[in-house]
Chains A and B, each alone.
Chain A
């Protein structure tokens, strides 16, 4: 099986996908409701789309191709409001967050669709444990080679993005001690992690051919990489973010990635090298475990500093690009978030400390997602 051609797309456009939790309004546990929700949503005009996900307590929404932060926020607002209205009609709650704090993976049901059944057959319980919720951000690229360069350039900031978006401290009723426990579930998949260090599409095709020859891979969908090229859209897809608890945060994170992409492709602030991946898993782990207070090892200098410090320096460098992309409010939002609580995982821990009830935490998450006061 050969890989399809890399489609053309406008550079630096973005598309956002958000996976959401569907919960009941009694004890706020996950509840199968995607089919009903999709039926009620039929005929509602949306700027993007709403589709089922692997288990029927999940739903995914996405935007169309957007140019700016404002546009992403506007589209997400329209879709969010329509979804919340439909969910209210069915007495369902919708929530962001990378994991559901106390759902039992064994109770999840695989959505009835051939691909999902196939995944379930192959990965067994892992596919049910994969009841985790992420935000994916697509960035349009000039061409395939530029896409690969951008992919490896953005890899340096994967830990920063993990730390900012982390919203999954609780799993199966317990505090994991992690800010993002969701990524531990993704890591269980054999083809997860980083993409191979190839910088031209021709080399990537050779790699893909070799992988298909082993019979391990049939399409790009079989790779669960942190960032992967998406040839049919002409984009690269950043997949490490936990679904934030609000659409405002989701939009701000998408805009941050857009700014990073512009900076990396225009200014080429650092040379790409395979060796930059040496501290990659360490940095990634630090971000998942400690959030913005995690240690960041600079791949070039080997210096140790906190992710927060490195992010502050980066945000400064991004300023002109934010102006060019009309994304200043997004960067302001991120700065504010870093000053206030860091990420949604810290917020969640604060709520739990006060309420001592995870069910109440999920209720408050639903209210935040709906944009209602708590």
Chain B
């Protein structure tokens, strides 16, 4: 047999499947399951992708299976999030915030309310204040990945869809800033070095804005000469976003802020509409699928056993705080109470951004991360399935889901 294997020039004997095989298998499985949950249960496809991730974690192959975040999967998360955040940023029109100040207030109110509710609520439930505040910071950002993907799949359109994009972009910015401050604070507690504690977050923020602006300018200059609906141009755009992301990684800037801000700068420094295929076509689509599998696998049985109850409390507090703020400011910002509730529900998912922020805490302050892990990982795990369904439900409540986005249901009527 060995002779035959030699003769056929097999690289290994007995044949062993390499990582490519498994990765491809995951792609196929996630694709199939996504289609299945969509057709049979009428749920967003990403639910299926997440389920595959959850199964990987349950069988001990999740991205935290060795305790720390797997570097290769972190890369996938970074790349896919970069695309989604860039796309989201490019939809945020700052003129809108100028024309409708109440919207800015509503955004500040929902972010502050959920920060206070989570920080204070968890402390009341007996969690150490430092850990409670860290949890509040890490869960400040709503999930750009979930709203981006589910919104696109349902082809939603309307005030809630527009506002969930703008508010997610804004609270991602608040979240990243708060996270940098938190990291500075932790640094101060440990080393007592004021300069480092202040300089680090400042560097990360300003540096991210500079790289983002450069990227936006480059894209605007290049794409004026090309047609973004052409496949080749879209691939170049994808490449540019990824180059900026790797620059951010090398310079230790925020991998969330750079793409998000680049999208926002692009949108707001040029009047011309920027139109490209969703998620930059198929290549981006594959990354997005892998993102949901990876984030879906970001939990362990131990973490879930230890943190599920607190995570549930956190999610409820957060949702309640957002709902109060958004319903309270609904009328003055131009929507009704029902749309306010729908918006709060759409902003409830937590996923990739929180994972990235958490992994940065883990890299610098493993001791804190150890205490945070049960709650944060459980929160992500719970929301990985519930999040897309929540967004779908919210959009349906607001009446913004395309009627034909669920073809099978339509056909049965």
- Evaluate contact between B100 and A89: CB separation under 8 angstroms: yes
- Evaluate contact between B159 and A26: CB separation under 8 angstroms: no
Asked whether any CB of chain A lies closer than 8 Å to the CB of B403, the reply is: yes
- Chain B interface main SS type: loop
Asked whether any CB of chain A lies closer than 8 Å to the CB of B128, the reply is: no
Asked whether any CB of chain A lies closer than 8 Å to the CB of B402, the reply is: yes
Interface residues on chain B, number (Cβ under 8 Å): 23
Known: A33-B158, A107-B155. A90 touches B272 (CB 8 A): no
Stretch at the interface among A64-72, A327-335, A355-363: A355-363
Of the candidates A90, A106, A357, A359, the one whose C-beta lies within 8 Å of that of B159 is: A90
The distance in angstroms between the C-alpha atoms of A356 and B403, with both chains bound, is: 32
Q: Interface size for chain A: under 10, 10 to 19, 20 to 34, or 35 or more residues? A: 20 to 34
- Evaluate contact between B334 and A360: CB separation under 8 angstroms: no
The distance in angstroms between the C-alpha atoms of A107 and B91, with both chains bound, is: 21
Of the candidates A31, A39, A106, A359, the one whose C-beta lies within 8 Å of that of B158 is: A31
Q: Which residue of B lies closest to A112 (CB)?
A: B399
Of the candidates B93, B227, B275, B400, the one whose C-beta lies within 8 Å of that of A91 is: B93
- Evaluate contact between B402 and A363: CB separation under 8 angstroms: no
Q: Which residue of B lies closest to A109 (CB)?
A: B403
Question: Which of A86, A89, A359 counts the most chain B CB atoms within 10 A?
Answer: A89
Measured CB to CB, the closest approach of chain B to A89, in angstroms, equals: 5
The distance in angstroms between the C-alpha atoms of A33 and B93, with both chains bound, is: 17
The distance in angstroms between the C-alpha atoms of A106 and B95, with both chains bound, is: 31
- List the A side residues contacting B402 at CB < 8 Å: 107
- Evaluate contact between B100 and A363: CB separation under 8 angstroms: no
The distance in angstroms between the C-alpha atoms of A101 and B256, with both chains bound, is: 36
The distance in angstroms between the C-alpha atoms of A172 and B157, with both chains bound, is: 19
- Evaluate contact between A89 and B93: CB separation under 8 angstroms: no
Question: Which of B99, B158, B335, B402 counts the most chain A CB atoms within 10 A?
Answer: B158
- Evaluate contact between B275 and A27: CB separation under 8 angstroms: yes
Within 8 A of A (CB), among B253-303: 271-273, 275
Q: Mark A353-374, 1 if CB is under 8 A from B, else 0.
A: 0011101100100000000000
- List the A side residues contacting B272 at CB < 8 Å: 355, 357, 360, 363
- Evaluate contact between B400 and A32: CB separation under 8 angstroms: yes
Query: Given A33-B158, A36-B334, list of 16 further CB < 8 A pairs?
Result: A24-B162, A26-B93, A26-B273, A28-B273, A32-B158, A88-B95, A89-B99, A89-B100, A90-B159, A91-B93, A91-B96, A91-B99, A91-B100, A355-B272, A356-B227, A363-B273
12 CB contacts below 8 A, A to B, read A24-B157, A26-B93, A28-B273, A32-B400, A36-B158, A88-B100, A89-B100, A355-B272, A356-B227, A357-B272, A357-B275, A363-B273
A residues contacting B by CB (< 8 A) are 24-28, 31-33, 36, 39-40, 86, 88-91, 106-107, 109, 355-357, 359-360, 363
